[in-house]
Chains A and B, each alone.
Chain A
Amino acid sequence: MPNEVIAEFKVTRMSILDENGIADVALMPELSHEEIRKMYELMLLARAFDQRALALQREGRLGTYPPIMGQEAAQVGSAMAIKPADWVFPSFRETGVHLSLGYPIAQIFQYWSGDERGQLTPDNLNIFPFCVSVGTHIPHAVGAAMAARYRRDPIAVVAYFGDGATSKGDFHEGFNMAGVFRLPVVFICQNNQWAISIPVKEQTAAASLAQKAVAYGFEGIQVDGNDVFAVYCATRNALEKARGNGGPTFIECLTYRVADHTTADDAGRYRSSEEVAAWRARDPILRLERFMAAQGFWSEDYGREARSRASASMDEAVHEMEGFPPPAAADMFEHACASLSPRQTRQQEGL
């Protein structure tokens, strides 16, 4: 008897806005000029944060910082589709998501300056703490989605992570549960093609990361991660599907980490400057600028103004951050647990 085909799958890539800033009108999401301007300005804000953080780190005013440069469209585009009641589980390289959702800028600086208090998410946002241990937060998003469904809350949950995270057991365990329970969760992978010095080709033998979802019984899609419209569309669709009980989705955003892994890294040791230059030319901000210019709502003056507004926001935030009083030593104990043991109390008093 011939073998039967028991599974076949296709993985598609979505793109709307090409490198020259020309959009496929048939696919273009309904976005007003004002909304597109907001996307653009948030991407500039994210870029400005990055540049400021790198400068502050060089001056010793900030600790190790992981830049997001090149990933602004993946972060802003996806975050723009998230609603305030949704829950977000970030990794450590989602500054653009935090900024888009309105996380206080000064607090992001504060966190990277080595001050825990930057992690206190404002009450109006449902953002989990930065997850430094790669991929380990993926099951948390799955659990939150289970809880939301139990409560009949009409929300969705979003987890962000990188290409490297897809090699962790937590990724696979979380994905499997999300599939088994058909949970309202959207997984967003920023495939920036590097996990420190490991290129994505050495991270997986699969042709795409998106197809990993197929094995767990749900949809995986790749999008051009430097195309803010495609990222927005894919995320919005996936979130709507999740809220409508349609189960999980995995979105792989194909993008690129233009800068070093962190300020402690030297990417020149393991990748070519030609590769980096090629991706710099595919800059997501430039692409959107070209689109807006062609549509007649971008000008040099507006671009300059928007950049200087972003830069002014950074001035203000850095000023605010540097005005925070240093944390007291006793702060280590403040949130160690709900009530301190007698020994912890003695230790705190003895500081």
Chain B
Amino acid sequence: MAKLNMVQAINLALREEMARDDRVVVMGEDVGRDGGVFRVTEGLREHFGAERVIDTPLSESGIVGAATGMAAYGLRPVAEIQFMGFIYSALDQLSAHGARLRTRSRGRYTCPLVVRTPYGAGIKAPELHEESSEAIFCHIPGIKVVAPSGPYTAKGLMLAALRDPDPVLYLEPTRLYRLIREEVPEGEYLTELGRARLARTGDNVTVIAWGSMLERVLKAVEPYSADVIDLLTLSPFDAETVLASVRKTGRAVIVHEAIKTCGLGAEIAATIAEDAILHLRAPVLRVTAPDVPVPLGKLIDHYLPTAEQIRAALDEVLQY
């Protein structure tokens, strides 16, 4: 089996699904001739032609809005937003339309759309190239939000997202794009949406993370006996798996690279409080970025949660 990085794994998923299903089209800025600024769509235009791999004008709202129309018409568009920091002008389309088309048309029209976007910090790129604003999208009913943590889940989640009948926001952690290589099988396997994965098992504490933070968490927890939950789908998140683990360990630490206030960690912590508070032996802690705009490269290491901060939180709940 081939060892692939995440860029190659997502590319493979798109390639296989495009070969299988001619409704799948890829569109966005620089996705065609250039193969995407991270090369995720490399070679697709050569293989499937410019009609299915569409270089668009620089128009985020136009891209997502047009993709919504294509999806409603019966295609399966995969729209790329070049960086998550540029998705905000398409928020109107996603939130007011993509997410509600099914509701507004009483099920007559649907929006089986995948919006891919690189997200997250740690690549020393300019302003707005390192955003992690998943919580904004998790706050929109009607959209699913997923974030793979490695090449294997990247492919499985992409295939599942492409088969999903509703809009899926697919977040690609840029820091991991080429950092991790894993065995990625050819052919079909779906990573079920709405299901988390136990990335490691232990007894004393549950650590919940996703995307690029998972790699950091796995390193940080080595000396601990911890359940590590790789959330994979951020909305709707797999409360069942989280609660089962917390009931077992009695402690929970949530790690995310987005800012703390109103981050997804708050929703997870509230769910634990609602449904498993009597099992808790310590407060639920969050290790997150501080409540400031993402800084430029020189300060990014002070912004992102570190292994030390993760361990400090683990020690705190264990010694509580």
A residues with a Cβ closer than 8 A to B are: 63-64, 92, 111, 113-116, 130, 132-136, 164-165, 167-170, 195-198, 202-204, 264-265, 269-270, 326-327, 329, 331-333, 336, 341, 343-344, 347-348, 351
Contacts and interface: CB of A to CB of B under 8 A. Distances in A.
Given A114-B298, A196-B37, A329-B302, A168 B292 contact: no
A24 B290 CA distance: 59
A63 B33 contact: no
B291 interface: yes
Contact of A198 (B58, B295, B299): B58
A347 B292 CA distance: 10
B55 A169 contact: no
Contacts of B29: 195-196, 198
12 contacts: A63-B296, A114-B124, A114-B296, A116-B296, A136-B89, A164-B58, A196-B34, A197-B33, A203-B58, A264-B37, A347-B260, A347-B292
B291 A343 contact: yes
B303 interface: yes
For the residues of B in contact with A, the DSSP-based class is loop
Contacts of A203: 57-58
Contacts of B124: 63-64, 114
Contacts of A168: 58-60, 89
A64 B62 CA distance: 27
Interface in B298-312: 298-300, 302-303
Contacts of A344: 290-292
A270 B32 CA distance: 10
Given A133-B128, A168-B89, A170-B89, A116 B58 contact: no
A132 B296 CA distance: 12
Nearest to B89: A169
A134 B297 CA distance: 20
B127 interface: yes
A196 B62 CA distance: 18
Given A130-B127, A132-B129, 17 more contacts: A63-B125, A63-B126, A64-B124, A111-B296, A115-B296, A169-B89, A195-B29, A197-B32, A198-B30, A198-B55, A198-B56, A329-B302, A332-B302, A332-B303, A347-B290, A347-B291, A348-B290
B151 interface: no
Given A114-B296, A198-B57, A202-B57, A64 B34 contact: no
Nearest to B38: A264
B126 A197 contact: no
B59 A343 contact: no
Given A115-B296, A333-B292, A195 B302 contact: no
A332 B296 CA distance: 9
A165 B33 contact: no
Nearest to B300: A114
Contacts of B89: 136, 168-170
A145 to B, nearest CB: 22
Contacts of A165: 58
A134 B86 CA distance: 9
Contacts of B57: 164, 167, 198, 202-204
Nearest to B291: A344
A344 B293 CA distance: 12
B261 interface: yes
A331 B299 contact: yes
B95 interface: no
A329 B61 contact: no
Nearest to B35: A269
Contacts of A132: 85, 126-129
Nearest to B60: A168
B127 to A, nearest CB: 5
Contacts of A327: 298-299
Given A196-B37, A198-B58, A202-B57, A116 B299 contact: yes
Interface string B85-98: 11001000000000
A269 to B, nearest CB: 6
A63 B128 CA distance: 14
A196 B34 CA distance: 9
